[in-house]
Structure formats: structure tokens, C-alpha cells
Amino acid sequence: MAKQRRELFKTKIGMLLACVGSAMGLANIWMFPARLGEFGGITFLIPYLFFLFGFSSFGLMGEYAFGRKMRKGPVIAFESVLAEKTNNPILKGIGWFPVAALIGILSFYTVIIGWILRYLVLALANSFPTMEEVFFSSFAGTPANIPWTLAAILVTALIVSLGIQKGIERFTTVMMATFYVVVMIMVIRALTLPNALHGVAAMLTPKWEALSHFRIWIYALGMAFFTLSLGGAAMLVYGSYMPEETDIPQTACQTAGLDLLASILCALFTIPAAFSLGINPQAGAALLFIAVPKIMTNMPAGYVFGALFFLCALFAALTSSIVMLEVPVESLISKFSLSRKKAALIISLLAACIAIPLNFDMNVFGTFTDTVAIIIFPLAAVTAGFLIFWVYGAQKALDNINLYAKHKIGRWYAPYMQYVFVPVCLLLVIAGIFLGGL
């Protein structure tokens, strides 16, 4: 009965863009171009495509299909799977673990969205040309970012509290569609800058020796995982809002494909623009908050493009923070029958309590971010993978995946997920601990 009452995505495109919004985030904007630079340009695509389409998109199918079958988020879905095997209340409550991991990610994400909001306002005020390079370090990791962090939480909470169709689906559709159109315009701008094509040519020259480094493989694997939001919660919850007749393998491939497109477009803006203007593109926060303002200062019409760039970054990050908040909100609604608004308020307050202290010290922020994203989140993926493919059953998962699929996945899927996917997730956790990289 509860099945009928659950609000589902209304349109196919809205559903897809919500999923792509979850997938496409900061990893695409600030890590992907950096990895291309670090590991021999196009050469990085070899392990990355291998892991994205040969590995994590199969995990994505599993999460989508399991969510659709259970019509519940991780807390109740895993509880009902475990109820047949154990009476232990702690084990049955394991679904809270991926939810907690996501609250952790939400907390540091809102700090970064705060920075993006601040830079969007700076771009609109045309402040980049007079901005000193040290501005970022004088702002990030200080209480000055707290109001911006709270604004990020507020916007996310407002959208989530409007519900699946009127909130999440409507806003992510507009944000994602705008993102792709604007980023394409920015790519054209970057590619028509003097010498920009030399930057692209350098990226397109394969450097085969890069493939012999262990790190390239582990980074590609980590990114393929993180970018598809595979932690046994986000995509599982979106799966639980998918209409019954959704073609799961197709939706998973489209999600991964559009996510890849977003990464490539971001790289096709930053790399040629930086190359043309003789600026070091850098990685991570330094790319967004130091290199990009410099690029915009030196680029013709940089005022307009600066604002557009941070608008895109904002949309990319917000469409991810929305699902990060939706997961714990769904858990409170399903488990304790709270109203959506009350649940959104509780989780927002919790996220604020974690996020505010992260603004006091960049070292604390860095340690928190690394621990959550590199160790806890993949550990949640291992837990979910084990529960879906070993406890619930890989064959049942496959049957659910193939239910309305035009192109069905073969029988190899079940042993592949049990004996390759789950152990490799575990390898990622171990590698995260020892290498400290995603």
C-alpha cells in the first residue's frame, strides 16, 4: 500500500537529470581536469572509461534496481533484507551507516558551496581584477564563510522540502539543462582564445608510460566511484523514486555518459583557457578559487564568463547537495513518519552543526573531507554492495535490473558483482587508507 503513496519522478527527462545532477559534482569540475593534467591527458581516459563503464555503472544499476524494488531508502530497505537473517538490532540498523556517510559529505559540500556562492557574488561585482591571490586563504577556513555555508544549507533545504516532483525534479532539471548549455558556450569561448588549441593538442597526445603507475589506476577507480555517487544511499533513493517501467541499464548508462560529458566539457574549458593565458590550471580548490579568477581577469569578456562559470559550479554542486540531504530526510520520513519539512529542518540543523566548525580551520576541513570521501564513503559502498549482492542476492538484483530493460544484462553479472565488484570496493577503501587519494 505504501508503494502507491510514494511520490515518484514525473518525467523521464526529469528523472535522468536528477540522477545526472547527483553524479555530476565537484569531482567533475575540479578533479577531472587536474587528473588529465597529472596523468598524461587523454591517457587518463583509458583507466577512467574502463572503470566508469565496465565497473561502477554496473554498481549503479544495482543501486537503482534495488531502490526501485524496495521503494524505500537504505535504512528500511537494508533492514528488511536483514530481518530474514538476524534479530540483532545493530546489524539491522546498518542502513544508517551510508546515510551518516552522506550527511558527512553534505556537511563539507555546503562549506564549498559557500565558497562558490561568495565567488559568484565577487564575479558579479567585477571584483576578480582587483582581487589578490591570497584572498582565498584569507576567506576559506575562517568564520567569514559561515553565513555563506548557512545560505547553501538553506537553499538545499528549501528545494528538498518541496518534495520530489515540485522540488528536486523541477529544480535539478532547470539547473542541469542550464549547466550544459552554459558550459558549451564557455568551451567555445575557451577554444577560440589564441593558442588554446595547443593546450588541447598537448592533452590529446597519449603518454603511455603514465599507465604503468599504480596511482593512475587507483585514482581513476576512485573517481569513477565517487562521481557516480556509489555509496549505497544516493542512487538507491533516486532508484526508489523511479517509475516501475524504467529501463535500468539504459538509465545507468545515460547517467554515466552525461556525467562523462560534463567532465570533458569542464576540462575543455579550463585546460585551453589556462594554457592560452599562461596560467597554471592547478587542482582542487586552487583551480576554482585561484586559477579561475586569474583566467577570468585575463580573458576578454571575463566578467560575464566569470559569473557564468561560478553559476555552473553552483548548479553542479547544488544538484549533488540536494540528494545528500534527500537521503537522510527520506530515512526520517520512512522510519519515524516525520513530515518532509520537519525532517529537512532536523537534518539541516545537524549538517549546520558539523559544517560550521569546518569553517574554522582548513586543516580540520581537509582531514574531515579526506576521511569521509576517501575512507567512510567507499566503506559505505562496500557495505551496500555486500548487502545487495551477497545478502539480498546478486541473481535477484539482476532480475530486477532486467525487468524492463531493452538490452538485458547477461548472467555473468551475478558472479561479477559478487566476486569482482564487492572485493574491488574493499580494495578502494584499503588504497584510500594507504594512498590518501581518490
The contact set with ligand PHE (CB under 6 A) reads 22-23, 25-28, 105, 226-227, 229, 231, 234, 320, 323-324
Pick the closer one to ligand PHE by CB: 229 or 348: 229
Q: Tell me the CB-side half-sphere exposure of residue 61, using CA atoms within 13 A.
A: 32
Q: Closest separation between CB of residue 425 and ligand PHE, Å?
A: 14
Minimal CA–CA distance to 113: which of 351, 303, 294?
351
CB 120, min distance to ligand PHE, A: 18
* Three-state secondary structure readout of the chain: CHHHHCCCCCCHHHHHHHHHHHHCCHHHHHHHHHHHHHCCHHHHHHHHHHHHHHHHHHHHHHHHHHHHHHCCCHHHHHHHHHHCCCCCHHHHCCCHHHHHHHHHHHHHHHHHHHHHHHHHHHHHCCCHHHCCCCHHHHHCCCHHHHHHHHHHHHHHHHHHHCCHHHHHHHHHHHHHHHHHHHHHHHHHHHHCCCCHHHHHHHHHCCCHHHHHCHHHHHHHHHHHHHHCCCCCCHHHHHHHCCCCCCCHHHHHHHHHHHHHHHHHHHHHHHHHHHHHHCCCCCCHHHHHHHHHHHHHHHCCCHHHHHHHHHHHHHHHHHHHHHHHHHHHHHHHHHHHCCCHHHHHHHHHHHHHHHHHHHCCCHHHHHHHHHHHHHHHHHHHHHHHHHHHHHHHHHHHHHHHHHCCCCCCCCCCHHHHHHHHHHHHHHHHHHHHHHHCCC
Say if residues 58 and 413 touch (Cβ distance below 8 Å): yes
Residue closer to ligand PHE by CB (options 111, 277) is 111
329/394 with CB nearer ligand PHE: 329
Residue facing ligand PHE at closest CB distance: 25
Q: Which is nearer to ligand PHE, 27 or 387 (CB)?
A: 27
